[in-house]
Structure 1
Amino acid sequence: MPKYRYKAKDWMGKMVKGELELGTEKSVIESLRASGLIPLGVQIKSENMMAEVWRKISGRISGKMISNFTRQLATMMTAGLPMTDALALLKNQQEDGSSLYIILEKILADVRGGMSLGTSMEKYVSIFGEAYVASVSAGEEAGVLEEILSKLATNLENENEFQGKVKGAMIYPTIVIVGMLVVMVIMMIFVIPKLTSLYADFGTAKMPAITQGLMTVSNWMAKLWFLFPILFLLPTIILKIGAKNPVFNLKKDKFFLRLPIAGKLSQM
């Protein structure tokens, strides 16, 4: 289905911009009018592959963005604002074309079409999380959605605060470890091979086993240096592919939970 960009005004005269994925321009206009909006202009959106790729790279939705969205939605709905109006306001606060903007636009269209908020969010469970979506669905069924959203916002804010403290505490050790690794690689690939030629002038003098082993490793690293980027990227590729396998995820989580320090931090 093609996407259409539209400009419209609400009943208060405020300008509203967005996108709808419908079959024809006439369908978009009818949908806007059914939502209480006055259409001013509708244009089909041209596909731009490079823009889509850039949006996926730069438009990652962070946990802080989700917590802010949840807090604002809870506050608006507690104040008596209808869900559709609250979602429309939050959508218009986002940068036009950003990932969160597009998701909120689709959720808003689903809710205006009669779908529940939890059911619509199930399409984006990878963004919001299974527990989040299940809590929203349960809150809607029990009629306490505002309270559930408020509690979810508090939990997400506490989680983001804790993660920020952990990341802040890990910056210095990470810089030190990375610096040590860079120095080690430079020594093994560039410095030690020159010392090897110096030791070769000693003739038949036997070197200690540790020195011989160090030179062997240095020689191996100097010849196979091009494999290091692959070795660094390989774990990321394995984790990304394995994330689709529940058994792999279970074993991965068990492994991380058994780690001395990181395991205890992940349980907090």
Structure 2
Amino acid sequence: MPEFFYKARNYSGQLFTGSINADSIKQAAFKLRNKNLIIIHLEENKQQKKELILPGFLGQKISRRDLSIFCSQLSLMIQSGIPLISALKVFEDQTNKKKLKEVAAKLCQSLEVGESFSEALDKHSSIFPFVLIKMAAAGEAAGVLDSILERMGDYFEWEHSIREKAKSSLTYPMVVLCVAVLAVAFVVVFILPVFERILNQMQLELPLMTRIILGVSDFLRHFWLLIFLGAVCIFYLAKYMLSKEKGRNLWDGWILKFPLIGVFISKIIISRFCRTLAVLLRGGLPILEALEVVEKTLGNSVFEKNIYQVRQNIKEGENMAEPLKASGVFPTMVVEMVSVGEETGTIDLMLEKVGSFFDAEVEETARRLSTLIEPVLIIIMGLLVGLLLISILLPIFKVIGTIDDF
């Protein structure tokens, strides 16, 4: 997560300088304003940006499963009467995850100097999700931190489950795709060059298809490094474009319109919206603040903009159901259940029910996608291998035909 340097004053005029982690400069400003600070200067840490060449090696984020264990164990120990600092020390001693050990130790240090738990979490916002930080603050204010942590444990376990289902649905198709690529690469790199030498020695006039295939093989063998470097450049260019608001908006809009995949992603986002908002409302957050937190957890700018508009409409006195309907991205079922929840005062319960429904939809859609993608990939692999075989066999048939003429 990007780091931002800031200079700010509080309402008493006291000057503060430091750094804060956030997804964007807008979120960084939001976090500082939540601390009742008036921003004087705010900029991204450019040096950190240069260091983020290979993000996979950073290891900053904690998995949703580990977050679930972290929250559930802390909740259980607090409910058993163990003070929060002691609970964190016990967790630090028990966990075998190096990152969690380090974070638990730093949280203890923050609590020992008088900071609240939510403030301590916020200092590590590159590791802990925004939703956990806000819920911890609400739990501390209401004196129910143990219950909040228990709910967050269940919430992160649900997130882990959804992610695993999405991954498992794509595992076999990806294996098939990798096998297809390796098979084609083997033929192109090892088989075709030998075949090309034999044909050249025979001085045959090759069919067009064979000449094209041999030309592609020759190009790949001689310019593989250039192709690899080009692919790396395209990857980092795409990554840079997606880091910009305009590029991300274009991608998020396009992916939702993509056949089959778009429907699958929409269902995941709607499920996350319902589940997260239900947890936040049950945790005691006001609807506007809860929607603001939800907006930052959806991971798609199209939905985020619509939630922002919903918040604006609620500020103007409207209910929640109408702007959700006007957005056009939420199904009628969601709108109707929210409307019923607003009328009966059970919006959190309604959202949880809708979330459960869309969880089942996500699982079923993932199963269908996997079932559909597998045969498509097998057919594509068969066509590629068949094309290569035909390109090899055509000259052989031509030789046999020439022999028969004699």
Name the TM-score, length of structure 2 as normaliser. Answer: 0.46
Q: Distance in 2 between matches of 1:85 and 1:195?
A: 72
Alignment correspondent of 1:99: 99
Q: Distance in 2 between matches of 1:118 and 1:217?
A: 58
Secondary structure of 1:124 counterpart: coil
Mean Cα deviation higher: 110-119 or 193-202? 193-202
Alignment correspondent of 2:221: 222
- 1:199-251, CA deviations, whole angstroms, 9 ceiling, x for partnerless residues? 3345462512x322212211110101234554565566457666765555544
Q: Residue 109 and residue 247 in structure 1: after superposition, are their counterparts in 2 closer, same or farther (change >3 A)?
A: farther
Deviation at 1:90, TM superposition (A): 0.9
Identity, in percent, stands at 23
User: Would the aligned equivalents of 2:118 and 2:134 in 1 still touch at CA under 8 Å?
Assistant: yes
Q: Distance in 2 between matches of 1:160 and 1:136?
A: 20
Aligned length: 211
Q: Distance in 1 between matches of 2:75 and 2:145?
A: 8
- 1:101-155, CA deviations, whole angstroms, 9 ceiling, x for partnerless residues? 1111111110121111111111222222222222222322333322322221111
Q: Residue 132 and residue 253 in structure 1: after superposition, are their counterparts in 2 closer, same or farther (change >3 A)?
A: farther
Alignment correspondent of 1:138: 138
- Amino acid of the residue matched to residue 94 of structure 1? T
1 or 2 for the larger relative contact order (CA 8 Å, sep ≥6)? 2
**Equivalences for residues 1-268 of structure 1 within 5 A:** 61-95=62-96, 98-201=98-201, 203=203, 205-208=205-208, 210-227=209-226, 229-230=228-229, 233-234=232-233, 237=236, 245=244, 247-267=246-266, 268=268
Q: Distance in 2 between matches of 1:112 and 1:102?
A: 16
- 1:150-208, CA deviations, whole angstroms, 9 ceiling, x for partnerless residues? 22111111121222233233222221111110111111122112222233345462512
* Higher helix fraction (1 or 2): 2
Q: Residue 149 and residue 60 in structure 1: after superposition, are their counterparts in 2 closer, same or farther (change >3 A)?
A: closer
Q: Distance in 2 between matches of 1:59 and 1:218?
A: 41
Q: Distance in 2 between matches of 1:108 and 1:243?
A: 37
- Amino acid of the residue matched to residue 133 of structure 2? V
Q: Distance in 1 between matches of 2:106 and 2:89?
A: 11
- Amino acid of the residue matched to residue 76 of structure 1? M
Q: Distance in 1 between matches of 2:96 and 2:206?
A: 68
Mean Cα deviation higher: 240-249 or 123-132? 240-249
- Amino acid of the residue matched to residue 88 of structure 2? L
Give ranges in structure 2 of 5+ residues lacking alignment: 1-56, 269-406
Name the TM-score, length of structure 1 as normaliser. Answer: 0.67
Q: Residue 239 and residue 107 in structure 1: after superposition, are their counterparts in 2 closer, same or farther (change >3 A)?
A: farther
Q: Residue 58 and residue 135 in structure 1: after superposition, are their counterparts in 2 closer, same or farther (change >3 A)?
A: closer
Secondary structure of 1:114 counterpart: coil
